[in-house]
Chains A and B, each alone.
Chain A
Amino acid sequence: MQVTVKLFASFRTGRLPIETRDYAAGTTVADLVSEREIPVAEIGIMLVNCRHVKLDRELADGDLVAIFPLLGGG
């Protein structure tokens, strides 16, 4: 299945900002995060097709995943 992953803000540093690739059935958002070596503690909002999801969300063909870092400064 084809999944597009879009990274935002600091997650783009050293990674592709947007990438469409084939993934095996059963791949989750956590797998995409782990593959990109994104620390879970740094993650804020995660979206699949503009809907908020958790790490264990299983992906489907054609999904668009968006991952934003957690911002906490003031």
Chain B
Amino acid sequence: MSRLDAYLTGRAVDGLISAACQLDASLHFDVSFAEVEAAILELGLCPARYQRNRQTISCAGQLALLRSTVAVIGCGGLGGYIIEQLARLGVGTIVAVDPDVFEEHNLNRQLLATLANLGEYKVTAAARRVADINPAVRLVPLRRALGAENAGELLAGATVVVDALDNIATRFELARACGELAISLVHGAIAGWYGQVATQLPGDDITGFLSGPGSGAKGVETNLGNPSFTPAVVASLQVAETCKVILAQGETACGRMLVVNLLDMEFEEIRL
């Protein structure tokens, strides 16, 4: 047993290691907080922050999350909640892609938007938020707009990609790129009281279901806007899908689109 392992084992209480102890170990052994977290989980112990995860996610599963990379494309309404939940879940690396800054009309729904950070890049605010929540998680901020020409570069190394975009043309490019790269994609979109979620696993192709018979780059959100609760619901469904893909557990929304109607409180499933 290494000295770090012995240090951690000697300090575990009911199988848990406190954040303070994890930080002490990081300083004492000159290794990163995330590396200490990996050592804790490899010993079958659990960082205390995840104690309410333990009945749902095993130590091995928590380690798989720590070692995974999730690319979140778009850091607005969906992306803010997605990044928040991935950081609390313990996903080791989050790649956040968004070229925009916060504007006042984002305040009604975007978790990371505050009065104080209007004008700030969304990915910068995301990095600060993640650092505040969970030092074991690294957020890679990319102030870029995804397109066909750079998708391969931006998505390289991702275990799962999450679609939190705000337009249909880029969604199409993202789904196509994920298909070509054989990376799992969790699609989500919202408008008003309504939302949809679908998961494209390698070999699947959801591109034919992202647009309609018209040629619009936007959907009905142009007329309906987006209130606070719809992105939170759809983002949570997307993070649950992401978690299942990483852990290889449960049934994903693969081959089907879940359509959420919060106004009539209906959940419809469309076979793709």
Q: Is A32 part of the binding interface, using a Cβ–Cβ cutoff of 8 Å?
A: no
Q: Is B203 part of the binding interface, using a Cβ–Cβ cutoff of 8 Å?
A: no
The closest CB in chain B to the CB of A30 belongs to B213
Q: Is B218 part of the binding interface, using a Cβ–Cβ cutoff of 8 Å?
A: yes
CB-based contact B168/A72 at 8 Å: yes
CB-based contact B221/A9 at 8 Å: no
CB-based contact B219/A42 at 8 Å: yes
A71 to B197, CA, bound (A): 11
Q: CB-CB < 8 A to A45: which residues of B?
A: 209, 212, 257, 270
Q: CB-CB < 8 A to A68: which residues of B?
A: 259, 270
Q: Which residue from A10, A42, A52, A72 sits with its C-beta under 8 Å from B167?
A: A72
Q: Is B85 part of the binding interface, using a Cβ–Cβ cutoff of 8 Å?
A: no
The closest CB in chain A to the CB of B216 belongs to A41
Assuming the contacts A9-B259, A45-B209, asked whether A72 and B214 have C-beta atoms less than 8 A apart, the reply is no
Q: Is B211 part of the binding interface, using a Cβ–Cβ cutoff of 8 Å?
A: yes
Q: How many residues of A contact B (CB 8 A)?
A: 24
CB-based contact B271/A50 at 8 Å: yes
Q: A50-B271, A73-B221 are in contact. List 14 more A-B contacts (CB 8 A).
A: A9-B191, A10-B192, A42-B212, A42-B220, A44-B212, A45-B257, A52-B209, A71-B189, A71-B194, A71-B220, A72-B217, A72-B220, A74-B77, A74-B79
Q: Chain A's nearest CB lies how many Å from the CB of B194?
A: 4
9 CB < 8 A contacts A-B: A9-B191, A10-B193, A12-B264, A41-B214, A46-B213, A71-B189, A72-B219, A73-B221, A74-B164
Q: Is A54 part of the binding interface, using a Cβ–Cβ cutoff of 8 Å?
A: yes
Assuming the contacts A8-B259, A41-B216, asked whether A71 and B193 have C-beta atoms less than 8 A apart, the reply is no
Q: Chain B's nearest CB lies how many Å from the CB of A74?
A: 4
Q: Which residue from A10, A40, A47, A54 sits with its C-beta under 8 Å from B194?
A: A10
Q: Which residue from B171, B188, B189, B261 sits with its C-beta under 8 Å from A8?
A: B261
Q: Chain B's nearest CB lies how many Å from the CB of A24?
A: 22
Q: CB-CB < 8 A to A12: which residues of B?
A: 264
Q: How many residues of B contact A (CB 8 A)?
A: 47
A70 to B189, CA, bound (A): 9
Q: CB-CB < 8 A to A70: which residues of B?
A: 168, 211-212, 214, 216, 219-220
Q: CB-CB < 8 A to B163: which residues of A?
A: 74
Q: Is B46 part of the binding interface, using a Cβ–Cβ cutoff of 8 Å?
A: no
CB interface residues, B 173-227, toward A, < 8 Å: 188-196, 208-209, 211-221, 223-224, 226
Q: Is B76 part of the binding interface, using a Cβ–Cβ cutoff of 8 Å?
A: yes
Q: CB-CB < 8 A to A47: which residues of B?
A: 270
Q: CB-CB < 8 A to B261: which residues of A?
A: 8-9
The closest CB in chain A to the CB of B164 belongs to A74
A73 to B219, CA, bound (A): 7
CB-based contact A8/B191 at 8 Å: no
A43 to B211, CA, bound (A): 8
